[in-house]
Amino acid sequence: MARIFIISNRVAIPKGGTHPGGLEVALKATLRKHPCVWMGWSGEVSEYPRTRTITQGANTYIVTDLKPDDFDEYYNGFANRVLWPILHYRLDLAEFARRDLSGYFRVNDHFATELEKVIADDDLVWVHDYHLIPIADALRRRGHSNRIGFFLHIPFPPPEVLTSLPNHEQLIPLLMQYDVVGFQTEGDAGNFVRYLMSERNQAREMRIFEIAGQQTTVSVSGQQTRIGNFPVGIEPRAFQRLARRNMRSPLVKEMVASLGGRLLVIGVDRLDYSKGLIQRLDAFDHFLANHREWIDRVIYLQITPKNRSEIPEYAELEEALGSAAGRINGKYGEVSWTPIRYVNRVYGRAALAGLYRAARVGLVTPLRDGMNLVAKEYVAAQDPEDPGVLILSRFAGAAIEFRRALLVNPYDPESVAGAIAQALAMPIEERRARHQALLAAVLDHDVDRWQREFLAALRGDDDVMGPFQVRGARARPRRQRPEITYSGPSAAVRLKPVRKNGGSVPA
């Protein structure tokens, strides 16, 4: 039976203490349903790196160490000081060094070398996130024709932003070495197609094929890559049970008792500038200033585990957040009431599930986010009879599904402050109606659907793409598909809608 090779920067080994956040949650269904090999960095830095294999049940985990230079150039350098800010639209924070780009390609080549030792011809390869864009190209250069898919968990900006990436023409086109490239939203997928149109179509040979659902196939010089949006989800039923159970945990019961009857607003985010935490505290300051009736009646709990503290921008953000929380508490607080509880420690998913359920308002206001699973977990955790209200940034991928949340512009503190007041005062009938619609969206786009649809696209086992094909093998007859032959300026072409008769799409 063909295995699924999962390649990511970090690997979550069961009971191993390594937990790469939302990726671990997203891949649980895949690991449970298929024989998998999960490969990536061990999290260890050593002058004498080792590669280790751990087998647990039907799954195998392969982790490899990085040398200090590799860690500095690949991880701290190009991945997190160039790709991360640019893909989150923060051109002002990108710091490019050619040495870091070389280290990025070197580490990806190292991962491909380790993968080559264990992969079989019929194995599927599923690569995750911006750290590992060149993996498919490294495998193709070694002669591997496996089906290889790539999923980007974070945003993909338009070409006007992406072309600010130094040497983008060396890196981004390598995504076309994958059989499937998946994004969180239709907008992200469209941005990638627009990039290809504007930057990689000098010979005017690009063709765009219509595919059923939210997918498109781009063909360049006869090489086809399927591009689609596959919104990642959670396991909502399991999270509902977790939230109900942990409302009775000592931690949550103690926290609820400490509120003294006040309402709780909660935010849970990694320490990162993309999360809009400074802007969120500013909005809470505006809320307290403009809605004095809520003084001493509400507490805002912000849980923000430290992250990438060795990078100066993150250390500065950590200091700024602590100062802002202290300033607001000093400005509005009383002996018996502190408006903000700002916590830097890590809490497990069970504890967070109970805290979400106890909160009247979930405050999720990133400046830019691929999806944001905290928003989905907050919705799933609520008591349907007395649910809380989700305030969500319109720049999070989840906003596309969550139209019944209170959608806000995180750059506008007055609008966020007004949404907090609206959420706290919202009648229970409206809270129930909004929650019912949001929960339906969470149930519809759960994590099982995400992995099932992506892997189906990767296998090519639907009636549009035809049977499973290995790159380089003779193709079997496929159903004729309508196509667009792109031969003009990129500004004159839109990804959607696609005409059924195969005609070109007008501006």
Alpha-carbon span 349 to 342, nearest angstrom? 18
Environment class of residue 399 by beta-carbon count within 10 Å: exposed (0-12), middle (13-18) or buried (19+)?
Answer: buried
Active site residue 65: no
Tokens of 37: 């090999």
CB 76 within 8 A of CB 86: no
Q: Which residues of 43-70 are buried (b: 16+ CB within 10 A; e: fewer)?
A: bebeeebeeeeeeeeebbbbbbbbbeeb
**Residue of 100, 123, 129, 369 marked catalytic:** 369
**Residue of 153, 286, 435, 445 marked catalytic:** 153
Alpha-carbon span 296 to 275, nearest angstrom? 27
Name beta bridge partners: 389: 361
Nearest to 162 by CA among 175, 151, 150: 175
CB 313 within 8 A of CB 273: yes
Environment class of residue 432 by beta-carbon count within 10 Å: exposed (0-12), middle (13-18) or buried (19+)?
Answer: middle
Active site residue 153: yes
| CB neighbour list of residue 254: distance below 8 Å, 6 or more residues apart | none
CB 311 within 8 A of CB 81: yes
CB 317 within 8 A of CB 342: no
Tokens of 168: 């983008």
| CB neighbour list of residue 493: distance below 8 Å, 6 or more residues apart | 197, 484, 486, 504, 505, 507
Alpha-carbon span 196 to 218, nearest angstrom? 9
> Which of the residues are catalytic?
153, 369
